[in-house]
Structure formats: C-alpha cells, structure tokens
Structure 1
Amino acid sequence: MAVRGVVFDMDDTLCLERDYVKSGFRAVADHVRDAADAEEVFGALWAMFEEGVRGDTFNRLMDRFPTVAGAFDIPTLVSVYRNHTPSVSFLPGIGELLATLRGLNIKIGVLSDGPLASQQAKAVALGVYQVADAVMLTDSLGRECWKPSPEGFLRLEAELGLSGHELVYVGDNVEKDFIAPNRLGWATVRLRLREQLRCAAEASEEAAAPGHEVHSTEELSALLDTMKDG
C-alpha cells in the first residue's frame, strides 16, 4: 500500500544535535558569566564536546573553573542547559520536504526521545507543532517509553489514524530508532549525514537496521516520492 504518513525523529534528523548542544553551552556560559569569563567557559565546554566528552561535562567544567564551582551547582547548570531557548533550525531541504509532503496530503508526525523540557523547547523553536499532524515526545509517557519501546509508535498510529504498512519512520540512530517501527511493519529510513553525532555507527543486529539509507535530504525526498505510490 502507498505511504500515507511520514514520521521523523528530531535530533540529527530534522535538526543537527550539535547545534542544540552549542546553543545550550552558550546559555550555560552566559549564566555563569559573573563567576568566570563566558567565552572561556563556552570554549572549554565546546572543546570537551568536540573531544567526545559526554555525561560528565559539567563536572569537568567545575574542576577547571573553581569560581564557577563556588557559585553554582551541577543541577543548576543542567537545568539551564535543558530549559534554555534553543537556537536551532531545520536541516537544509527539510522545510521544503515537509511542505511537499503536506501538499500531497501525506500526514506528518514527529517522535523523539530526550528530557521533555529540552524536546519541547526544541520543537517550539523549530515550529514542529505548526507543520506536524502529531508530535510524540516519548518522555511525556515516561523514560521506559523511550525508543526502542514501541509505545510512542503505537500512539502515533492511533493519532494519525494509520496502520504500520502506511507509515515511514525517518531517523539517524541505528542503536534504537528502527527496532520498534521495523517490528510494527513500518518502512524505515536512515538519514545519514557526516555532521551527525552517530554518522559512523553501524547497526549491531538485523532488527535494528533500517530498511533504507539515504545521504542527503534530496535523496530522502526522492525516496519518499517513490514510496507515496506504493
């Protein structure tokens, strides 16, 4: 059957995750500017990110800037990061693709993991709620409903009024994005771009592998065009 709905991941699919991280680090650096030079703080944060530091970035920041550690605690910095107004935008070509899909009466959905406040702010900044027929931020259901849980996908099927064989999921993360939609009979597409954080990753098992892989938004648009007619 022809595809009647396309659901997108958000991070590194609709927008670059690194742009969100950079925006968040700017917000943190500005927040602590009375305790340390904001540009130095941002430079340290971004250098750690580029080096692959994940998970304990703010702990390391405190070690490097004792004046920041004396004035702020880590939960405060995490809150600033997660609740900032992000400076993000659609990947080149994504806005046009969404407009094309809408013009063809193909329903648009978004399904994304991550802390709810961060994802809501990102969705608002991108204008997702204006272009999508349904938005599922899985953290609203609880951490146990993050991918690879099928719960968010099942809820989108119900909200969009479509069944699995009528739907496509477009994502980037071969660790978790495609397991549930594959099982539910959705078509799955990996958008693989060199700017993505997980560009080099490969699926560790067949169940996690996407049905299709494209390397540009132009290729994605062309593939979806072939799918719309079945």
Structure 2
Amino acid sequence: MSPTAVGKYAGREFGAVMLALVAGGGLLLASAGRTWATGEAGVSGPVAAMAVDVTGGDLSGAMAGVGWAALAGTAGLYAARGPARRLVGALLALGGVFALVQVGSATRPGALAAALAEAVGGAAGAARAVGEPALHAAGPAMAAAGAAAVTAAGAAAVIRATLWPGMGSRYDRDAAPRSTRADTPADLWRSLDVGDDPTLDARGGVTEPERSAAEGGTTPAPLASGPAEPKENH
C-alpha cells in the first residue's frame, strides 16, 4: 500500500473513531434523561397509587459524566499527539468500561427498588413504594451501546493514535518559516506582512551570497561605507 493510501486510510479511521465518540457520548447523555424503571407509590387510606419514574440519571451519574467526557475527548484526540493522544484514549476507554459496569449495577432489582424508594420519598413525602419497579429496556440499552462505543474508540486511540492526523502536525507545518524572494522593496514589505522570511531563497532556504559561495563562486564585495575620494592630479 502506498504512503498516500495509508494516509487516507488513517484519516478515515480517525474520522470513524471521532464519530463513535460523538455517538457514544450522545447515547449516554440521552439515556441519563430517559426513564429506566417505573414503580408505584401509595399512602394509607383510600388514595389511588401514583406512578413514579426513575431515570438513568437517578440511578447513576456515570452516564452523563462519561457522556460529556466522550464529547470533550474528541477535541483532546484532535489536539494531542504521541503519548498524550494515547493517554486520552486510555482515559476514554476506562470511562467507557466504568459506564458499562454502572449500567449493570443500576439495573439490578435492589438498585431499582432503592432508587424508586428515594424518588418516592422526595416526591410524595409520606408515600412509600408499592411492589417491584418495572424495568424499561430502552434506557439501559442506549447506555450500554454508548459505553461500548466510547470503550472501543478509546482502545482504538491507544493502539492506532500514532498513525492518525491531528491539529499538532498541521500547526507545526504552518508555523515553519516560509521562504520567498523579494526582488523589489514592495515585495519585501509584502513578505514581512504575511510572515515570510525574505532573506531566505525560495529554492534552498539560504541567502543568495551563501548559495553562490557553496557552489564555488565568489561572494560579492560589500559596498563602500562612504563616498569615494577623488584622485589628486599631479
């Protein structure tokens, strides 16, 4: 595979990882606000029980936290290079694994019952939970898919980060002094305005006298500092 093809493949791979992070972070954030379980709360007396919803955010703050971290990680992967990019990838992978563990813990019957009791106590005062909460699969499935996407993207960054393009290499290229050749004073000022170095020759990065000397020529003699004195007639 040619270097150009390798570079294109690495760029597409990097873009796919970025999309995975955005999708994973979005799914985690969406799942945090979605209802994961529904229960009933009742009070003593002839009062009908009321439905109480428990969201992913009520069960664990990891969904929203890892979701925002994944979105921020896209900027980190783009700006970082080398070991720093691998470190960002490792942190993202660990965050994804942590979110997956939290999804499993939050969907246990005991955790759902405790979250329902807490929600009922805060919403209805003297009310208490009635029966077992019913689990809704959509919320946990979204969270699990998002966490898996973040984990995979972080692991890919750890393994493949050195091959991906980034903001650092572009800035290094743009920050390098460009050489240009100024033939007139106007060209000189224009070169200085755009940040070019008019003292460098565009072909070799050296001044014209230096190139002449390197090629075996002679360096032009410097101009006299003062006016020439007239010769006396004898």
What TM-score results when the alignment is normalised by the length of structure 2? 0.30
Structure with a larger share of its residues in helix? 2
Which one has the largest radius of gyration? 2
